[in-house]
Amino acid sequence: AEHDKKAKKRKHEYEEDEDEEDVKHKKKTKDKKVADGKKAKKEEEEKWKWWEEERSTDGSKWRFLEHKGPVFAPPYEPLPGKVKFYYDGKPMKLSAPAEEVATFFAKMLDHEYTTKDIFRKNFFKDWRKEMTSEEKSTITDLNKCNFSEMSEYFKAQSEARKQMSKEEKQKIKEENERLLQEYGFCIMDNHKERIGNFRIEPPGLFRGRGDHPKMGMLKRRIRPEDIIINCSKDSKHPKPPPGTKWKEVRHDNKVTWLASWTENIQGSIKYIMLNPSSRIKLALRAGNEKEEGETADTVGCCSLRVEHIKLYPKMDEQEYVVEFDFLGKDSIRYYNKIPVEKRVFKNLQLFLENKQPEDDLFDRLNTSILNKHLQELMDGLTAKVFRTYNASITLQQQLKELSCSDDSVPAKILSYNRANRAVAILCNHQRAPPKTFEKSMQNLQTKIDEKQNQLSAARKQLKAAKADHKASHDEKSKKAVEVKRKAVQRIEEQLMKLQVQATDREENKQIALGTSKLNYLDPRISVAWCKKYGVPIEKIYNKTQREKFAWAIDMAEKDYEF
């Protein structure tokens, strides 16, 4: 009750705030900051329930934003003199920039990547750019480079890290905690908010998925001069590290980024943003059709080309059918044959006329036009909402069909995951079976076998105890039977749990559940299901997901209907 009262009081404050001058707002924020030290702990327990507040209508995402900027990767530490690089059999001292890039390669030496031609070619080209002219004229052939001492050195270091004493580990933990406290939070309007990724990735060699043509290229070190800062004018602007400058400082409250830079491999823009649990990430859910940095030849419904569909005219009793075959998001192939109405079929025929395979199928359509049209049909409707709707309604239906309140919790979870899989299949969220799949299935099977042996042993013991009790008929032997019976029961439950887990894992082999769970399914459906069937929410959502969906966990009742 105390908590509720406070929440109400806070809510009341914000409503007042809406109508007030910036000046007062600023003062409040300042006061708030002074009190922050003391209140930080409390603040965490008492999370801001932003979903209980009104949203601004002018498109602005915040009124006040203050943060400390990103944490940069630590500077390069040159190798100790005893660790040598050899060229053509002779030791050679490299300049610091060339040595740093060489260490990236050395660290990956045991990896298959470094044997691949594209990787080696890209690496060597970029490495040479970091060399002095003298180094460049000497080092002309990657095959003559010997990185093995460097590689051994890094292996020894990583071994040493594993052997660290408790005190040393504690020290590192404390330093990380200090960085988190200093850089990991920003102040947005009146709230202290967690920042998602405030550390900038260290430089290294690019790998990419699959046989990426850019693998092996040097992912450059990001410097303050690369960073654009976004914060409010009236905030304490983040300070760049001594002796450096930011690229730019902007004040734009129509965007939610705190900082951004352009990475050199794909030329994509990287952002520092808030943690998924914060209000902004959620408010932005719908709409963005193009994924940042996606350069592969993938298409969506508006960018389908003539070559991506085939039409099968109606024959006899059959229906009109359209065959789709294209690469969708994340380069996942979408292949499906879908029966359509005559009118749709005839229109598609018209759209195909006089076109080349590489021409746009819907040449007069783009996502903005489509979404504009959808919005005329229903406020807030976009293509993504469509997908979300279809995914969510499917989950709800499947859960209704599959769940049974008499099931054990593991069996209920299996049903949940099956419902989730039905959605993932609908959304075409496939994956290659994980590399570790067979191994982990084997391990699980070993556990199951062991459990089964345990169970037969326990059953034998129970039988013996029963015989003993039959003979002696005393209290002691009766108790022994009870104990053995309980043991059998416990082992049976454990065995069942393992078997369910194995089924679940097998069925999930080629399906990725995360994407739909995180992006397409209304979390209230899952929360309501957990409440209705008495399944702890932790079994469905991990910590990150629970933070992101805190609003739903708080709001959805067990009889919630999507």
6 within 8 A of 46, measured Cβ to Cβ: yes
Nearer of residues 14 and 86 to ligand NAG, judged by Cβ? 86
Q: Helix 409-426 vs helix 523-533: angle between axes, to the nearest 10 degrees? A: 160
Task: Say whether residue 415 binds ligand NAG (CB under 6 A).
Answer: no
Q: Is 520 a catalytic residue?
A: yes
Out of 320, 416, 520, 541, pick the active-site residue.
520
Shortest distance (Å) from residue 252 CB to ligand NAG: 3
Nearest distance in Å: CB 489, ligand NAG: 32
CA distance 66 to 258: 9
- Cα 215 to Cα 212: distance, rounded to the nearest angstrom: 5
Q: Contact region for ligand NAG (CB under 6 A) — 54-62, 169-177, 496-504, 536-544? A: 536-544
Residues 6+ away with beta carbon under 8 Å from 154? 103, 106, 107
By CB under 6 A, residue 514 contacts ligand NAG: yes
Smallest Cα–Cα separation from 527: which of 434, 359, 347, 396?
A: 396
Token duo for residue 440: 């982990």
Question: Closest separation between CB of residue 149 and ligand NAG, Å?
Answer: 4
State yes or no: residue 545 binds ligand NAG (CB under 6 A).
yes
Query: Is the separation of the CB atoms in 319 and 313 below 8 Å?
Result: no
For residues 12 and 333, which CB has a smaller minimum distance to ligand NAG in the complex? 333
Of the pair 387, 532, the CB lying nearest ligand NAG is at 387
Tell me which stretch binds ligand NAG (CB under 6 A): 30-38, 123-131, 389-397, 498-506. 389-397
Q: Is 434 near ligand NAG (CB under 6 A)?
A: no
- The span from the CA of 340 to the CA of 283, in Å, is 35
Neighbours of 443 (CB within 10 A): 11
Q: State which residue, 89 or 210, has the beta carbon closest to ligand NAG.
A: 89
Structure tokens at 543: 């910590």
Q: Which 355-384 residues touch ligand NAG, going by CB under 6 A? A: 366, 368-369
The interface region with ligand NAG, picked from 124-132, 197-205, 543-551, 554-562 by CB under 6 A, is: 543-551
Indicate which single residue of 58, 166, 543, 559 sits in contact with ligand NAG (rule: CB under 6 A): 543
Q: Considering beta carbons, is residue 484 or 545 the nearer one to ligand NAG? A: 545
List beta partners, residue 323: 310, 337
Among 235, 390, 452, 510, binds ligand NAG (CB under 6 A): 390
DSSP string, 145-193: EE-HHHHHHHHHHHHHHHT--HHHHHHHHHHHHHHHHHHSEEEETTEEE
- Which of the residues 218 through 257 are near ligand NAG (CB under 6 A)? 228, 230, 250, 252, 255, 257
Say whether residue 115 binds ligand NAG (CB under 6 A). Answer: no
13: left (phi over 0), alpha (psi -120 to 50) or beta: alpha
Q: How many CB atoms lie within 10 A of CB 226?
A: 18
* Of 393, 411, 441, 496, the one binding ligand NAG by CB under 6 A: 393
What is the chain's Cα-based Rg? 30
**CB of residue 249 to ligand NAG, shortest distance in Å:** 8
Which residues, numbered 283-342, are part of the site for ligand NAG (CB under 6 A)? none
Query: Which residue numbers are catalytic?
Result: 520
Interface residues with ligand NAG (CB under 6 A) are 86, 146, 148-149, 228, 230, 250, 252, 255, 257, 259-260, 271, 366, 368-369, 390, 393-394, 426, 514, 518, 542-545
